[in-house]
């Protein structure tokens, strides 16, 4: 395994996404624990685990990937490779992969990297989670900064290969504002995922 020191747990929810989309803030809201972040993007090179031994369950915040100011391209690619390997290696115990995106910027970022032969990182990660049979949930963060909410979320669905309107994907598309503690749509999607996995004992972690 690429990342060492993973607690041996039967069930896991991983947070994946680009740098600076608010994963650490979301992790704090989900776990109630402060998450130490590096001052510069790309500094964190290992997962942050928050686990509960009695339920054999943990949330894992994986390092951010994609473009990072001042970070060499080979370093960025190494991070992404490590994240992909971690998910592949532990897919059997990962109940959900929460892909965190910036609600205001994600459409522009995807469209900027949609040239011939290119697959944007966010779209690629969404498809990858599906390919390894990990339930993908897209936490569309910073929605307090988005004016055209429905239009923006429908556009994101189209780019991920989901038919709009976005409201029919409430187990997959979760508009949130982690900084303000507004994450109920994500909690609801996780509750649905836990019930489907017959892990009602984990519902206490997504109240």
Which domains, from first to last, does the chain contain? 11-197 (3.40.50.300)
CA 181 to chain centre: 16
Global pTM reads 0.92
Element (H, E) at 23: helix 23-31
Residues in the chain with pLDDT < 70? 1-2, 35-45, 67-71
Q: Give the DSSP H/E element, type plus range, for residue 87.
A: helix 73-90
Pairing mode, if any, of strands 57-61 and 11-17? Answer: parallel
Give the tokens for residue 23: 């994963």
Q: How big is the chain, counted in residues? A: 207
Place of tokens 């994946």: 16
**pLDDT tens, residue by residue, 154-181:** 999 999 999 999 999 999 999 999 999 9
């Amino acid at each position: 395994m690429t990342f060492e020191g993973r607690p041996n747990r039967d069930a896991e929810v991983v947070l994946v996404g680009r740098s600076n989309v608010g994963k650490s803030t979301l992790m704090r809201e989900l776990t109630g624990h402060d998450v130490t972040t590096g001052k510069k993007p790309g500094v964190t090179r290992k997962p942050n685990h928050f686990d509960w031994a009695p339920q054999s369950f943990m949330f894992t915040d994986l390092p951010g990937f994609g473009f990072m100011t001042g970070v060499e391209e080979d370093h960025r690619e190494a991070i992404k490779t490590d994240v992909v390997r971690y998910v592949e290696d532990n897919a059997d115990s990962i109940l959900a992969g929460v892909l965190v995106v910036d609600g205001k910027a994600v459409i522009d970022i995807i469209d900027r990297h949609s040239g011939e032969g290119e697959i944007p990182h966010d779209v690629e990660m969404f498809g990858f989670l599906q390919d390894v049979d990990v339930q993908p949930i897209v936490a569309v963060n910073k929605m307090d900064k988005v004016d055209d909410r429905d239009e923006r979320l429908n556009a994101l669905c189209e780019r991920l290969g989901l038919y709009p309107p976005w409201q029919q994907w409430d187990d997959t598309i979760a508009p949130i504002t982690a900084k303000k503690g507004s994450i109920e749509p994500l909690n609801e999607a996780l509750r649905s995922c836990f019930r489907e996995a017959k892990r009602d004992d984990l519902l206490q972690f997504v109240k």
